[in-house]
Amino acid sequence: MSTYKCRASTELISRDAFPSNCCAVFNRGGGLGPSKVCVVPAAGNSSIDDTPAVLKAFDQCGHGGKILFQNTTYHINSVMNTTGLENCEIDLRGTLLWSTNVSYWLNHSLPVGYQNQSTAWVFGGKNIRFDGHGYGTLNGNGQTWYDACGSVSNYPGRPHAMTVAETSNSEFTGLRFVQSQMWTLSIIHSQNTVFDHIYVNSTSTHSSSRNTDGADTIYSSHITFRNWEVDNGDDSISLKANSTDILIEDCLFHRGLGIALGSIGQYKDVYETIQRVQARNITFSGTLHAVYFKTWTGEQVNYPPNGGGGGLGYASDMIFQDLKATALRGPAIAISQCTTFSGAAGNCTSSKFQLRDLTFRDLTGTTTSHDVASLQCSGVKPCENISITGVDLAVSSNGTLADEYLCGNVEGTRGFKCTGDVCVGGSATGGC
């Protein structure tokens, strides 16, 4: 049995016998594992903020050490910034429970660095392993937020559960996110990082759980999402500005909107891309789409997060394969280049952001729609080189095959023929 010396005592004790109220730093000798282990104490009372103890542990063990959360509940009542970490491990065996003080969070949430979004926790560094063992949980107490914000999009100050920023060569595994306040994970300015065996459930008992994306990538590359299960009220996983070399595989998505590319093209005259995306072996259960694209119109109306437009760039070189669907609520594949300021009518064919070189193959299962695809593309920058093959989607109401491909401003189709004109409307998720 390994023994450690608590800083508050000269007595050597076993790790299992370590008191939770002791100063939580072990110095480990022998060259095995991290040199320091910080056990985070929990006050065990919702009125006592455990955030200072968490921040202290990261400060003491965030470089070459290990931060250990015990199998108990930690009350997180204030914002956290744990960036600049290096060569460390985070071992989450309990639950981090965020407070329901809406006024505090609206006034203190930390900037993400994109779309005027904000977050409850900024986390980042290099060579990190964050392990939840399949049960370590981040609970955002989201029902409070769903009731407070309702269907208002991007409510100012409403925080993301966690932002992974400027992170590289790291792995997050076995984590559970429940009732996230808004987006669950925003991943920004990060590279070569894997998110594996992640569970997300941000569903509401009676209010809209809009804006509860499972994950969003921004200015990031070589990001892998593997073995995710997401049940939410918005994008399952969304790839936004300058997301490149992204892999999504072996995932199950429930009830939300499906895999989203965008929104993008929101910043006037700013050039952005989404490139080299692969998604494979994905199951969709009751989602609106399997995959959908959303760009802002070519005219700027108001400002982010709920306004914008006029952006430049392209999304290209994407392969979506082995997609299995049950009871899709809309077209399996959708493109809408019609996003604009809430409540404003926009020119849906004016976007200067182009979609091209998109491949969809082996799409099977059931749907409530007769439309396999609804492709509403820009007249200024038409969609190019879209391939859809291996489709076997049955319409659940009558068992017939879904066989409609609605197109607007699409050039170069492979594997399918356009069967009708797309309905042009203001919906950011396609259709009218």
Contacts of 59 (CB under 8 A, 6+ apart): none
Burial (Cβ within 10 Å: 0-12, 13-18, ≥19) of residue 68: buried
Tokens of 296: 């802002």
Sequence letter at residue 18: F
Enumerate the active-site residues: 234
Secondary structure (DSSP) of 131-149: EEEEEEEEE--HHHHHHHH
The residues that bridge with 230 in the sheet, in sequence order, are 200, 253
Q: What H or E segment, with its residue span, contains residue 343?
A: none
Name the nearest CA neighbour of 280 among 271, 290, 270: 290
Where are the extended beta strands (E) located within 16-153?
25-27, 36-40, 66-69, 73-76, 80-92, 95-98, 110-111, 118-119, 121-139
The residues that bridge with 13 in the sheet, in sequence order, are 4
Strands 121-139 and 80-92, how do they pair? parallel
DSSP classification of residue 156: T
Q: What is the distance between the alpha carbons of residues 402 and 400, in angstroms, rounded to a whole number?
A: 7
